[in-house]
Amino acid sequence: MIHSLFLINHSGDIFLEKHWKSVIGRSVCDYFFEAKEKAVDPENVPPVLQTPHHYLISIYRGKLFFLSVIQTEVPPLFVIEFLHRVADTFQDYFGECSEGVIKDNLVTVYELLEEMLDNGFPLATESNVLKEMIRPPTILRSVVNTLTGGSNIGDTLPTGQLSNIPWRRAGVKYTNNEAYFDVIEEIDAILDKSGTTVFAEIQGVIEACVRLTGMPDLTLSFMNPRLLDDVSFHPCVRFKRWEAERVLSFIPPDGNFTLMSYHVSSQNLVAIPVYVKQNISFFETGSCGRLDITVGPKQTMGKTVEGLMVTVHMPKAVLSVNLTATQGNYTYDLTTKVLVWDIGKLNLQKLPNLRGSLSMQVGAPRPEENPSLNIDLKIQQLAISGLKVSRLDMYGEKYKPFKGVKYLTKAGKFQEFLHILTL
């Protein structure tokens, strides 16, 4: 299925390649580089590209492109999911998925890729199975391997590899038994120049950190599960139980994992947490203009908005800006024409405002296109969709674990268009 994998950094350099069948030359990546140049942002590169003899399927994670080369037709989402598993495995093993870390652990990376894919088909993708086969690198283990000529590869087959629960190893023991869940939601929204919502949806995920002794069987219940659409589960979840009762029943993997992801597409259920009052104007005569932006809370359910940042893609004719911010600070990149206003925590007593003058090219025509404004934010202890966990029950073991649930709302692709006035 997958013939080759190329890892490409943000600059477009191939720093790692792995071939499972025949070796495919790096020239096949030229089609990808052409698409990358046409895309404005790395996230906008088409995930599937067709070439005369191959299909190129890629993902973008941590400023890296994972590019797979396919010679036959396959379900693209199948390959994309596998590439995300590869990135998640690197993250789990090394603490981060970056070019520097991968280069520092090349031997372990190639060992992992060899086990995760067999002759082009996924084999072992569960983290606990891989950790029994290939031990995570440590400083002590690296020193011992250097002195003895040993390797990180285990001597025995993982206990979970041949069981009907391959995601959990046998004989797990902990002094402190705990199960924590993070409900993380991202708002994707497009607002028009008047502030009216054109499009809005929520992408949610439940991340779990479970460290429990033995073989526990967990049940997670929600107060309002019916609002969830397009749900995707970890293989440990019993899907029939979810269909019948809207309850998550599962034997969890050991450690960190993504329990489920979901989608809320009903626009009336998507609350927009902040509003933006904006005004950008240019004078008929002269080479100057005015900018005025105010940000305020809208539907935050009484929670504090943190990490607030506004990014404005200014018209190309704007040479420089002279602005005053009542809160936070701003930067303007003369090359990319991008204005970034870092507000921080939203102050309800005095709403943050950014205003001032814009300098234009002499003789340049008035901009006609409406510039876009992107918003980034975080709201702790709030799931903007209203999803809430009601209870977590454990069966099969007699001890009482520590349990906890945290909520986080953040902005995904949150965009509003500015309205240009001519004075």
| CATH at residue 19 | 3.30.450.60
Assess if residue 159 is contained within a domain.
Answer: no
Q: Is the residue at 405 inside a domain? A: yes
Residues 232 and 292 in one domain: no
The CATH number assigned to the domain holding 326 equals: 2.60.40.1170
Q: What's the pLDDT at 422?
A: 58
**Boundary-marking domain end, from 148, 170, 197:** 148
pLDDT value for 157:
57
Instruction: Give residue 372's pLDDT.
Output: 82
pLDDT at 156: 61
Q: Which residues are 54's β-sheet partners?
A: none
Q: Same domain, yes or no, for 18 and 124? A: yes
Residue 423 in any domain: the answer is no
279/373 same-domain check: yes
DSSP state letters, 7-44: EE-TTS-EEEEEESSS---GGGGHHHHHHHHH-SSGGG
Residues 6 and 123 in one domain: yes
Please check whether residue 6 lies inside any domain of the structure: yes
Whether residue 133 is found in the same domain as residue 45: yes
Same domain, 278 and 298: yes
Please state the domain count of the chain: 3
The CA distance from 262 to 11, in Å, is 33
Q: Is the residue at 363 inside a domain?
A: yes
The pLDDT of residue 192: 82
**pTM (two decimals):** 0.80
Task: Classify strands 197-211 and 217-222 as parallel, antiparallel or unpaired.
Answer: unpaired
Pair (304, 325) in one structural domain: yes
Tell me, what's the pLDDT at 371? 78
Amino acid at site 365: P
How far is 161 from 267, CA to CA, in rounded Å?
43
Shared domain for 138 and 14, answered yes or no, is: yes
Residue 157 located in a structural domain: no
Mean pLDDT in order along the chain per 10 residues (423 residues): 92 92 90 89 89 93 93 92 92 89 90 89 83 74 59 59 72 91 93 82 93 93 86 92 93 90 79 86 74 88 90 85 91 89 90 89 69 90 90 92 94 80 58
26 and 141 share a domain?
yes
Is there a domain that residue 406 lies in? yes
Do 278 and 264 belong together in one domain?
no
Same domain? For 247 and 328 the reply is no
What CA–CA distance (Å, rounded) separates 64 from 12? Answer: 9
**Domain presence at residue 77:** yes
Provide the residue range defining the domain that includes 73.
Answer: 2-148
Distance CA 57, CA 46 (A): 8
Q: Is 40 in the same domain as 139?
A: yes
